Amino acid sequence: MRTEETFIVASIAGSDPTGGAGLQGDLKTFAAHGVVGTAIVAAVTVQNHGGVRAVFAIPPEVVAAQFEALLDQVVPRAIKTGMLLSAETVAAVADVLARRPIPLLVVDPVLRASAGGALASPSFPAALSSRLLPLAALVTPNFEEAGALLGRAVTEADAASAAVELFRRLDGPAVLLKGGHGRGMDSVDVLVTAHGVVSLGATRVATTHGHGTGCALSASIAARLARGDRMEDAVRGAKAYVHRALLAARPLGSGRGPVAHGVTAD
């Protein structure tokens, strides 16, 4: 890990009271990677291991104002977006980035909590595709999220072709189609960049304690890109980090626990 200079990374996402996902999980992941984490609140969730009980959107103009305030003080090396909830918030973030671009933008197109509950409005995928993804370096959908962006179902069997189709349709960011929701013995992610297609496999971890897995992966990639890793190296390193975090995961109180964000990042 490079430590001779300070790398600052920002997360624009929702708040999770259990601390396993969203902004809280992202900040833990940033800390594990030795980068300085900053946070812009896009929504507040009421959730636990049983699912999402309620979601409250932060007004888009307030999200934009938080973003501008951060940029007035420091320009992050990379930004990761998570739960943005609405088309209006997507537009607010995109408007700031159009004026003050950040070249290393990782977009996690969060639609739903893994424990259950919608985390995005119906108009969200179209707004994401038209406004934010053209500014991104990488988008990290799971099967459901890729399907929403493509307008068709995506399965484990056609993951590679779907990732290529999404890359061509978006005509901008690299695509990392995550295989964590698959059923095979290996969890296979497909990375598509201008340099080609790479399948990244790892033995699936048999655990019920994986809250925040997607957030940890995208936050780890953003931190690694900020530190200077090439895209494929950043994705490989992040996948290995999440694998270790799943192996070390434990229950939280009476329910499903989060990934163990504090495991060794490298």
pLDDT by residue (tens digit) across 6-40? 899 999 999 999 999 999 999 999 999 999 999 99
Residue owning tokens 């507040």:
44
Question: Are 8 and 36 a contacting pair, CB within 8 Å?
Answer: yes
Nearest to 81, CA basis, from 148, 136, 11, 155: 11
**What are the tokens at 42?**
């896009």
Amino acid at 245: A
**If you average pLDDT over residues 89-101, what whole number do you get?**
97
| Backbone angles phi and psi of 48, in degrees to 5 | -155, -160
CA distance 66 to 147: 31
| Backbone angles phi and psi of 215, in degrees to 5 | -65, -45
pTM of the entire structure?
Answer: 0.94
Banded model confidence at residue 116, pLDDT cuts 50, 70, 90: low
Nearest to 247, CA basis, from 229, 226, 224, 263: 263
2-11, 129-138, 150-159, 165-174, range with the lowest pLDDT: 2-11
Residue owning tokens 């996948």:
239
**pLDDT above 50 for 1:** no
Amino acid at 223: A
CA distance 8 to 180: 28
57-61, 76-80, 252-256, range with the lowest pLDDT: 252-256
- Mean pLDDT score across all residues of the chain: 93
Banded model confidence at residue 5, pLDDT cuts 50, 70, 90: low
Banded model confidence at residue 127, pLDDT cuts 50, 70, 90: very high
Order across the sheet with 186-193: list the strands: 51-57, 36-48, 8-15, 78-81, 105-107, 138-139, 174-177, 186-193, 196-203
Nearest to 121, CA basis, from 148, 87, 159: 87
Residue owning tokens 């936050």:
219
244 dihedral zone (left: phi>0; alpha: psi -120 to 50; beta): alpha
Helix axes 60-73, 87-99, angle to 10 degrees: 30
CA distance 150 to 49: 30
**pLDDT above 60 for 4:** no
Q: Which domains does the chain have, with CATH numbers?
A: 8-247 (3.40.1190.20)
**pLDDT above 50 for 2:** no
**What are the tokens at 108?**
């996690």
Q: What length is written for the chain?
A: 266
